[in-house]
Amino acid sequence: MSNELVISSTQKGDRIALLQNKRLLEYHEEELDSSFTVGDLYLGTVKKLSSGLNAAFVDVGHEKDGFLHYQDLGPNISSLNKFVKDVIAKRVTTGRLDNVTLEPAIDKIGKIDKVLTKNTPILVQVVKEPISTKGPRLSCDISIAGRYLVLVPFADGVNLSKKITDRAERSRLQKLMLSLKPKHFGIIVRTVAQDKDVEELDRDLQNSLAKWDMAIKSLSEARPRDRILGEMNRASSILRDMLNESFESITVDTRESYEEIRQFIHTIAPEKEKIVKLHNGKTKIFEALGLEKQLKSLFGRSVSLPGGGYLIIEHTEALHVIDVNSGNKSNSEEDQEATAISVNQEAAKEIARQLRLRDMGGIIVVDFIDMKKPENKKLLQDIMRDEMKPDRSKFTILPLTKFGLMQITRQRVRPEMNIVTREVCPTCGGSGTIQASVLVTDVIESNLDYILTKQNERGVSIAMHPFLYAYYTKGLYSKQWQWYVKYKTRVKLIKDSSLGIVNFKFFNKAGEVIETGSGS
């Protein structure tokens, strides 16, 4: 099993694709200067206390106030609030807590108006990004995530991931971290820390402490609504959490991203630095690797399965519904039960992939094909659980009901990824009537003639759908060659399946779009 990360930089931000065995597994779009990302620290102001909800609404700069529940205050909120006041008043200038006296922990079932006061400053961390009409979900139980460890200020003790099962290794890590951790800092040891030596663990701890120190320095000069510490970008976050021996390559398409990722890899895993590659091809990186086609085929309402079945994915306000259909598979098996288990197994694998790919969260209801045998139902649940194991989001899978429905809950911390796969007609704009598509070649050649003869442009390139590209480049004496003979200049053609079949774009030598008034 090989993993690859592909990062394409655009004017709006980065497009990030995680591939497993060349198949798209995760897809993210990250806007430049994106705010309210999971992990960000903000200096907020308590705007409203709701005793009915036992929660506070905190102004952190979003159009909707952030939601802070009593259970998310953390036991050491009193210590945090006192420390924040001291930092703002410049009585404290460092993030180290050696000389800090911790306040008593708050009650687990207390009331929020006994802990917080309206219009007071508060340091909060985003744990759930703004979704739909809701503001960000916030927490005061601050944590700084590293590659092997999670640093928790104002806590004490060491906790280990439950996935580390070896007793000797658990004992080693427990003793090691107790000897390394600073005073009044708690440590959570992540699964990937297993079998790592003290040098690597200490380096990760020092990096997290440096981040905390940087946050406190920012806090001393901050104003309400300011972001105190930004979580690393999505690509770095994926690498921090998932980078292991199965990663074969990290491909980027800009020199800036190349240097940034190399530097990050050098910090967390120097031996993997050589897997970072810079794409220099003439074709766009997503196009060259066939990712545009995968995106178009995977984000539609209907998703095909390898054996002939298909999924229908619907979204409602309350939940997501996935219907499993056998399609032409029903003709190839001897009996109904064999057909059902065969299609359902394929569906379970694809559904686990779709949940990660689209980052679907909340309640998901899957209508599998009915099966009669209890052992087949149990097998399907086991397959679903195994397929979702690598998912970094928390999830719960319930057994199939007697109606063949499986209920899944999956943690949702950011808006669902959605890509429009249906193309609006570029000629009619969706009105229903279009100019004959055969005329697109006339329009392209008319525009090209004007650009080359009237505007005297040179170094012109045209981006177009692969069907059009094939038409212009086929044969020894292709249309592209005829243009060279006619205009005495080479016209570069670029395949771009993100364009509609009768869409095209002209670019000048500097790579800027040439406005033509049609096609683009």
- The ranges assigned to domains in the chain are 3-33+234-290, 41-229, 300-410, 437-507
How far does the chain reach from its first CA to its final CA, in angstroms? 40
Task: List phi, psi (to 5°) of 82.
Answer: -65, -40
Residue 458 has pLDDT above 80, yes or no: yes
Query: Which two three-digit tokens encode residue 421?
Result: 């796969």
pLDDT (mean) for 317-327: 87
Residue 264 has pLDDT above 60, yes or no: yes
- In DSSP notation, 466-511 reads HHHHHHHH-STT-HHHHHHHHHSS--EEEE-TTS-TT-EEEE-TTS
pLDDT of residue 308: 80
pLDDT of residue 476: 86
Cα–Cα distance between 344 and 369 in angstroms, integer?
Answer: 7
Residue 332 has pLDDT above 70, yes or no: no
Largest distance between two CA atoms of the chain: 84
Cα–Cα distance between 389 and 270 in angstroms, integer?
Answer: 28
- Give the Å distances, CA to CA, from 452 to 201, 443, 461, 516: 62, 14, 11, 13
Q: Determine the 3-state secondary structure of 186 from DSSP.
A: strand
pLDDT of residue 520: 52
Average pLDDT of every residue of the chain: 86
- Architecture field, domain 3-33+234-290: 2-Layer Sandwich (3.30)
Query: Which two three-digit tokens encode residue 108?
Result: 């687990």
Residue 265 has pLDDT above 80, yes or no: yes
Of the candidate CATH numbers 1.10.10.60, 2.40.50.140, 3.10.290.10, 1.10.540.10, the domain formed by 41-229 belongs to 2.40.50.140
Q: How confident is the model at residue 187 (pLDDT cuts 50, 70, 90)?
A: very high
Question: Bigger pLDDT: 461 or 248?
Answer: 461
Give the CA radius of gyration of the chain: 28
CA angle 342, 347, 351 (to 5 degrees): 160
Residue 519 has pLDDT above 60, yes or no: no
Task: List phi, psi (to 5°) of 318.
Answer: -95, -30
pLDDT (mean) for 468-488: 91
Residue 428 has pLDDT above 70, yes or no: no
Q: How confident is the model at residue 419 (pLDDT cuts 50, 70, 90)?
A: low
Q: Determine the 3-state secondary structure of 201 from DSSP.
A: helix
Cα–Cα distance between 169 and 27 in angstroms, integer?
Answer: 35
Q: How confident is the model at residue 82 (pLDDT cuts 50, 70, 90)?
A: very high
Question: Bigger pLDDT: 327 or 188?
Answer: 188
Mean pLDDT highest for which of 280-294, 427-441, 446-460? 446-460
What's the pTM? 0.68
Cα–Cα distance between 276 and 186 in angstroms, integer?
Answer: 34
Question: Bigger pLDDT: 28 or 429?
Answer: 28
pLDDT (mean) for 410-433: 61
Query: How many CB atoms are closer than 10 A to CB 239?
Result: 23
Q: How confident is the model at residue 273 (pLDDT cuts 50, 70, 90)?
A: confident
Owner of token pair 């944590």: 143
- Architecture field, domain 300-410: 3-Layer(aba) Sandwich (3.40)
pLDDT of residue 33: 63
pLDDT digits (tens, 9 = 90+) for 342-356: 999 999 999 999 998
pLDDT of residue 331: 53
pLDDT digits (tens, 9 = 90+) for 430-453: 555 555 566 788 889 888 988 898
pLDDT digits (tens, 9 = 90+) for 121-152: 999 999 988 887 889 999 999 999 888 899 99
Q: How confident is the model at residue 517 (pLDDT cuts 50, 70, 90)?
A: low
Question: Bigger pLDDT: 109 or 431?
Answer: 109
